[in-house]
Amino acid sequence: GKTVDLGSGDGRLVLEAYKQGLRPALGYELNPWLLCLANYRAWKAGYHGKVSFLKKDLWKVNLSDCQNVIVFLAPSVKPPLASKLLAELPDGARVVAGRYPFPSWSPSSTLGQGLDQVWAYDIQEVRR
């Protein structure tokens, strides 16, 4: 299903999601330099026109049609973002958080350790 990276930076996670078959894959990023870098990386990888990087504020995008959400953001953003995700995502959606977990959510699974740790959350389970 549709995969989005909130704060997609240089685009590497969006490109990897596309390579793994998660389509459509797109990133939302406000930094114009990082958007340029992400688009260059997509072009260099042969994915120009297959993935999208949009200059949009993550707080203003509607996530109701997303099945997979990637979040690699600071801990201070997690509590308000948790509310947005719970309000907008469908029950079948999955959220993957890198480096910092959502403090009030119980993960469905985790992988890695330390700075390389990620937490996966199934929205339907989080809502219970």
Q: Measured between alpha carbons, how far is 89 from 69 in angstroms, rounded to an integer?
A: 9
pTM, rounded to two decimals: 0.94
- Taking each helix axis from N to C end, the angle separating 32-44 and 12-19, rounded to the nearest 10 degrees, works out to 30
Given strand 3-6, what is the order of strands in its sheet? 51-54, 25-28, 3-6, 68-71, 94-98, 118-122, 109-111
Whether 67 contacts 4, CB under 8 Å: no
CATH number of 2-127: 3.40.50.150
* Domain boundaries along the sequence of the chain: 2-127
Q: Which residue has the tokens 């992988």?
A: 111
Q: Measured between alpha carbons, how far is 73 from 71 in angstroms, rounded to an integer?
A: 6
Nearest to 14 by CA among 37, 33, 32: 37
| pLDDT value at residue 87 | 97
- How many other CB atoms are found less than 10 A from the CB of residue 5? 29
| pLDDT value at residue 1 | 87
Digit-coded pLDDT (tens) for 74-123: 999 999 999 999 999 999 999 999 999 999 999 999 999 998 999 999 99
